[in-house]
């Protein structure tokens, strides 16, 4: 559970609550689309899509279908606050495509959640499932809310989550649309969603429906390995990339942006390779230590202090200094549109392994390519989460419980074979890896549409 960013006066630097450690305002990476401040995220998706569709000569009719979302649900719902007031919240669920299987995708709680962002994230989920060859379509959702403890008590957060689930009603379901955790949501929130959904079912149906969400706590039907799955997938692919490059991870350096689920697990799993995290950034600011920052120690610190600000064994740096830190690998694991025309020229890394969704915009992509910086694109790199979500869903449906070794081995096999598919297509089309990943996804979707046809 994310907790409040308490203002802090001790330690060096200034805590950033939307403001950089040097006092400068952080770039508004995530403001509402169409507000003139930033380009639409969905427009970025369509740019990426068009590039791949042109190169592979995607069938014109299928192109029309995949360039739009199927369903867009917006719910405004009332919740009683602890002091008796009623607040109205806005929640979203966008279902992009379900030709390969039920809609699947996370729920995000963030003040900047908006329809444009959710559309983009839902569409990326369709591509991700197609590349990983798991039987899911794409969806995403969220609530426009700052879920910090400063704003809402734990009881309020529970009521908000339950009322959102109720408002979504039959728009989600274990064989129809299956939410999972994303930014600022976690297994506890999934347990509340599952429980609320089950209360709305006839009693004899309930036990058959716990796979309405994945990323649940283990005792409530979650899978071992789901908490670390996205970070684990990122690290499996970094290992694979390093092997191919003849690059020794032992003694290598990396930087991580976002120290939540994905970023902190990726960092923790890089440690046994002997790799050093020399810089890390979260919403409260950035830290640097050329000797390396111990991920486990920083996780313990962040648990206690709610974020990484004030950690004693590293020095605070500002956002731009973080982006310009020299290292071998950059793992963006926070929000979208971080690697842009402004920041891509500053990066001093050999590889960007995208743990986050959409951290690189089309200008950033072009600059990374020109600069010869390798990229493992989000729709491949962070697919470990949805792959293990699929494993959790299967275990629930079959009343099975797999051990961690089994989950890890299956994840590695699936994500590495997805990597090989993308690599093969990149080679075949002589194109970059993001474009190749799109071509893999679009080819699979095109084949299925051609087999099934369009009703009526
Ligand atoms: P999280 O809420 O656990 O962590 C988010 C982290 O980003 C926090 O450390 C937060 O402080 C940091 N952050 C927020 N704004 C920031 C900013 N402006 N600058 C720097 N850091 C900032 O979320 P998560 O689940 O780890 O998700 C992170 C990214 O990974 C998102 O893009 C998400 O869509 C993507 N992703 C998550 C999963 C999953 O399984 N959780 C799966 C695939 C992709």
Predicted confidence (pLDDT) per residue in 49-87, tens digit: 999 999 999 999 999 999 999 999 999 999 999 999 999
Bridging pattern class, strands 374-376 and 138-144: unpaired
For 125-142, write each residue's pLDDT tens digit. Answer: 999 999 999 999 999 999
Which pTM was predicted? 0.94
* Residue numbers annotated as active site: 140
Model pLDDT, residue 14:
65
Q: Whose CA is nearest to atom 23 of ligand 1?
A: 183
User: CB count, 10 Å around CB of 378?
Assistant: 25
B/e letters for 292-317, b = 16+ CB within 10 Å, e = fewer, are bbbbeebbebbeebbbbbbbeebebb
Does 154 have pLDDT greater than 80? yes
Residue-range domains of the chain with CATH: 6-28+223-456 (3.40.50.720), 69-215 (3.40.50.10860)
Q: What is the mean pLDDT of the chain?
A: 93
Q: Average pLDDT for residues 15-25, to the nearest whole number?
A: 42
Would you give the DSSP letter of residue 31?
Answer: P
Does residue 4 carry a pLDDT above 50? no
Q: What is the pLDDT of residue 26?
A: 34
C-alpha of residue 28 to centroid of ligand 1, in Å: 16
| pLDDT recorded at residue 264 | 98
Question: pLDDT exceeding 90 applies to what percent of the chain?
Answer: 89
Buried b (16+ CB within 10 A) or exposed e, 342-367: ebbeebebbbbbbbbbbbbbbbbbeb
**373 pLDDT above the threshold of 60:** yes
| Mutation test residue for ligand 1: of 107, 334, 385, the one with most atoms within 8 Å of CB | 334
Q: Hey, whose CA ends up nearest to atom 19 of ligand 1? A: 283
Determine the 3-state secondary structure of 339 from DSSP: strand
Structure tokens at 312: 């004693």
CB-based contact 359:337 (threshold 8 Å): yes
- pLDDT band at residue 424 using 50, 70 and 90 as cut-offs: very high
| All residues at 6 or more sequence positions from 456 whose CB lies less than 8 Å from its CB, including other chains | none
Residue 426 C-beta-side C-alpha neighbours within 13 Å: 15
Q: How far is the CA of 308 from the centre of ligand 1 (A)?
A: 14
- Position in ligand 1 atom list of the atom nearest CA 108: 34
């Amino acid at each position: 559970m994310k907790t409040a960013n308490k203002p802090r006066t001790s330690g060096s630097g200034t805590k950033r609550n939307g403001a950089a450690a040097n006092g400068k305002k952080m770039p508004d990476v995530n403001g509402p689309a169409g507000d003139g401040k930033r380009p639409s995220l969905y427009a970025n998706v369509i740019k990426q899509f068009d590039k791949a569709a042109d190169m592979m000569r995607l069938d014109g009719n299928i192109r029309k279908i995949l360039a739009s979302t199927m369903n867009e649900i917006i719910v405004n719902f009332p919740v009683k606050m602890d002091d008796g007031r009623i607040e109205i919240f806005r929640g979203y669920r966008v279902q992009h495509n379900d030709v390969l299987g039920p809609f699947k995708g996370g729920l995000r709680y963030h003040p900047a959640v908006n329809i444009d962002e959710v559309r983009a994230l839902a569409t990326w989920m369709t591509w991700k499932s197609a590349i990983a060859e798991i039987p899911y379509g794409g969806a995403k959702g969220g609530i426009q809310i700052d879920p910090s403890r400063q704003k809402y008590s734990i009881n309020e957060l529970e009521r908000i989550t339950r009322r959102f689930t109720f408002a979504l009603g039959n728009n989600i379901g274990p064989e129809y649309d299956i939410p999972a955790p994303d930014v600022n949501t976690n297994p506890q929130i999934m347990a509340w969603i599952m429980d609320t959904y089950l209360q709305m079912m006839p009693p004899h149906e309930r036990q058959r429906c716990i796979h309405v969400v994945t990323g649940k706590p283990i005792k409530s039907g979650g899978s071992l390995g789901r908490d670390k799955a996205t970070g684990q997938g990122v690290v499996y692919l970094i290992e694979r990339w390093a092997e191919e490059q003849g690059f020794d991870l032992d003694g290598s350096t990396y930087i991580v942006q976002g120290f939540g689920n994905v970023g902190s697990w990726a960092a923790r799993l890089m440690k046994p390779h002997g790799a050093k995290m020399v810089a890390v950034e979260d919403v409260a600011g950035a830290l640097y230590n050329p000797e390396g920052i111990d991920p486990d120690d920083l996780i313990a610190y962040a648990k206690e202090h709610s974020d990484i600000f004030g950690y004693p064994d590293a020095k605070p740096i500002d956002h731009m200094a973080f982006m310009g830190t020299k290292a071998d690998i950059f793992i963006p694991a926070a929000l979208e549109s971080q690697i842009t025309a402004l920041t891509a020229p500053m990066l001093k890394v050999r590889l960007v392994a995208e743990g986050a969704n959409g951290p690189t915009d089309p200008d950033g992509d072009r600059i990374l390519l020109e600069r010869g910086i390798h990229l493992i694109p989000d729709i491949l790199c962070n697919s470990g989460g949805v792959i293990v979500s699929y494993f959790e869903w299967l275990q629930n449906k079959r009343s099975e419980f797999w051990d961690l070794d089994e989950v890890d081995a299956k994840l590695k096999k699936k994500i590495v074979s997805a990597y090989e598919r993308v690599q093969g297509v990149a080679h075949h089309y002589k194109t970059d890896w993001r474009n190749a990943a799109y071509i893999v996804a679009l080819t699979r979707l095109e084949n299925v549409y051609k087999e099934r046809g369009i009703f009526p």
